[in-house]
């Protein structure tokens, strides 16, 4: 079985992320959305709430699971028995970052391949940070999130 992990912060998970998962399912039998825990900062939405909301979103899709993880992405890929790391690419800035990460990960384990999908043009400008900014100024963020993804707002910091 071809298993991939899709690691990221997903703070919040956007239409851009959902598109990568959807298209990734054409390549892989199973994708684990891997919500990285950053020891340095707690983020906007608590990690447990990010995981809960995503599990709810994908509850009817047995080929997608959602986990949080600490530490190195490559170690988590191993733990999951995944041979692929799925990522998305929007801009040249993403490119440089993704290239560096893929290179390091290949040096750590040449058997785990990073697969990068180009963004859908309409979704190229959607980022978690833009969505956080909109929320901060009181705008409705639902148009930027996949239908059915609901975060418990009381848990979210301003």
E strand or H helix at 133: helix 128-136
Only segment of 5-13, 58-66, 132-140, 147-155 that touches ligand ADP (CB under 6 A): 5-13
Rounded to the nearest 5 degrees, what angle is found at the Cα of 50, between the Cα atoms of 9 and 96? 10
For the stretch 99-105, contacts whose Cβ atoms lie closer than 8 Å and that sit 24 or more positions apart, written own/partner, are 101/73, 105/73, 105/74
Site string for ligand ADP, 89-128 (x = CB under 6 A): xx---x------------------------x---x--xxx
Extract the tokens encoding 116. Answer: 């990068």
Check binding of 12 to ligand ADP (CB under 6 A).
Answer: no
Q: What residues pair up with 10 in beta bridges, in sequence order?
A: none
Q: Catalytic one among 17, 30, 50, 83?
A: 17
Which of 18, 83 has the CB closer to ligand ADP? 18
Report how far residue 82's alpha carbon sits from residue 32's, in angstroms, rounded to the nearest whole number: 9
3 is annotated as an active-site residue: no
Which of 8, 146 has the CB closer to ligand ADP? 8
Nearest Cα residue to 146 out of 54, 33, 24: 54
Q: Which of 82, 87, 135, 144 binds ligand ADP (CB under 6 A)?
A: 87
Check binding of 68 to ligand ADP (CB under 6 A).
Answer: no
Nearest Cα residue to 146 out of 6, 10, 13: 13
List of residues contacting ligand ADP (CB under 6 A): 8-10, 14, 16-17, 20, 87-90, 94, 119, 123, 126-128
């Amino acid at each position: 079985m071809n298993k991939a992990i899709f690691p990221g912060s997903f703070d919040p998970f956007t239409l851009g992320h959902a598109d990568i998962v959807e298209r990734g399912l054409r390549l892989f039998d199973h994708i684990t959305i891997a919500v990285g825990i950053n020891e340095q900062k707690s983020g906007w939405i608590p990690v447990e709430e990010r995981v809960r909301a995503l599990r709810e979103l994908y509850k009817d899709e047995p080929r997608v699971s959602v986990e949080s993880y600490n530490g190195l992405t490559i170690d988590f890929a191993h733990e999951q028995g995944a041979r692929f790391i799925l990522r998305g690419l929007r801009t040249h800035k993403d490119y440089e970052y993704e290239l560096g990460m893929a290179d390091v990960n290949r040096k750590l384990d040449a058997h785990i391949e990073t697969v990068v999908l180009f963004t859908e043009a309409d979704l190229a400008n959607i980022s978690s940070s833009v969505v956080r900014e909109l929320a901060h100024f009181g705008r409705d963020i639902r148009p930027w999130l996949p239908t059915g993804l609901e975060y418990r707002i009381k848990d979210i910091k301003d």
